[in-house]
Amino acid sequence: MTSIELDAMDRRILGELQANGRISNVDLANAVGLSPSPCHRRVRRIEEAGLVLDYVTLLDRTKLGLGLTVFVDVALGRKDPESVAVFENAISARPEVMECHITTGDYDYLLRVATADVAAFRHFIMNVLIGMPGVDKTRTNFSLGEVKYTTALPLDPA
């Protein structure tokens, strides 16, 4: 991955791509005030530098029957490299785990889990998570609703 400096135009391009990954180069160029060829060159340079990880489609989880979001703290009993790797591989393979973060504090990981309902989440906790190698304890927080959800990163220079 190459490191590049981003100017204001690059940031505008990235902002447009975050808002609509399917935008055509012509529409992108129009939106940021460039002609298509220089816009395309900038996008390629940004992609080649590894700033764009992927282009994806975001789905409405509630319309797909995944109306419950739960945040789960997980503490491992052993924290040696092998135990950590086994847990991380096992949790990475679970489709209901949307995110897994290594954290500081009393717990080692924070999971964001999406399931259909409380019964499906109970199945995940009782039959999957607490049976994973190394899991010592968990703490659960149910989301009562989203105030803000975005996948767009802030692009203004700090």
Question: What pLDDT is recorded for position 158?
Answer: 62
Q: How far apart are CA 140 and CA 106, in angstroms?
A: 14
CATH of the domain at 92: 3.30.70.920
State the pTM of this model: 0.88
In the predicted model, is pLDDT for residue 2 greater than 70? no
What is the per-residue DSSP string for 141-156? EE----S----PPP-S
Where do we find the tokens 């460039």? 34
Tell whether 137 and 93 lie within a shared domain: yes
Task: Give residue-wise pLDDT tens across range 137-148.
Answer: 999 999 999 999
Tell whether 135 and 95 lie within a shared domain: yes
Q: Under the phi-then-psi rule, with left for phi > 0, alpha for psi from -120 to 50, and beta for the rest, what region is 52?
A: beta
Structural domain contains residue 54: no
Number of domains making up the chain? 2
Q: What percent of the chain has pLDDT over 90?
A: 95
Tell whether 77 and 137 lie within a shared domain: yes
Range of the domain at 132: 68-142
